């Protein structure tokens, strides 16, 4: 039991490294699949559509009702 508790911090660090290393390949795969299956461009994927989701939300919040 002590061995498991002593190695827990090391396992957490290794898991963080593996997760960080897999981020870019998984993102590239999602972008490629969205383009191949749905025809979504890279710009639309990165900006959440035309103009970007956050830009549209901010613009709608600042316009008077």
Number of continuous H segments (helices) and E segments (strands) in the chain: 3, 0
For residue 16, what are the domain limits? 2-62
Q: How many domains does the chain have?
A: 1
The pTM of the full predicted model, rounded to 2 decimals, is 0.51
Confidence at residue 47, expressed as pLDDT on a 0 to 100 scale: 72
Q: Encode pLDDT of 5-58 as tens digits.
A: 888 888 888 998 888 888 888 888 988 898 899 888 777 777 766 555 455 555
Distances (CA, A) of 31 to 5, 41, 56: 39, 8, 22
Using the structure block, give the residue that is written with the tokens 């960080």.
Answer: 20
Please give the DSSP secondary-structure letter assigned to residue 49.
S
Confidence at residue 3, expressed as pLDDT on a 0 to 100 scale: 79
Confidence at residue 60, expressed as pLDDT on a 0 to 100 scale: 54
Q: For residues 34 and 64, what is the distance between their CA atoms, to the nearest angstrom? A: 36
CB 54 within 8 A of CB 48: yes
């Amino acid at each position: 039991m002590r061995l498991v508790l002593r190695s827990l911090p090391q396992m957490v660090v290794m898991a963080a490294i593996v997760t960080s290393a897999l981020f870019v390949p998984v993102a590239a795969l999602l972008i490629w699949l969205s383009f191949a299956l749905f025809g979504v461009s890279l710009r639309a994927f990165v900006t959440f559509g035309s103009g970007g989701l956050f830009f549209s939300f901010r613009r709608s919040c600042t316009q008077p009702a």
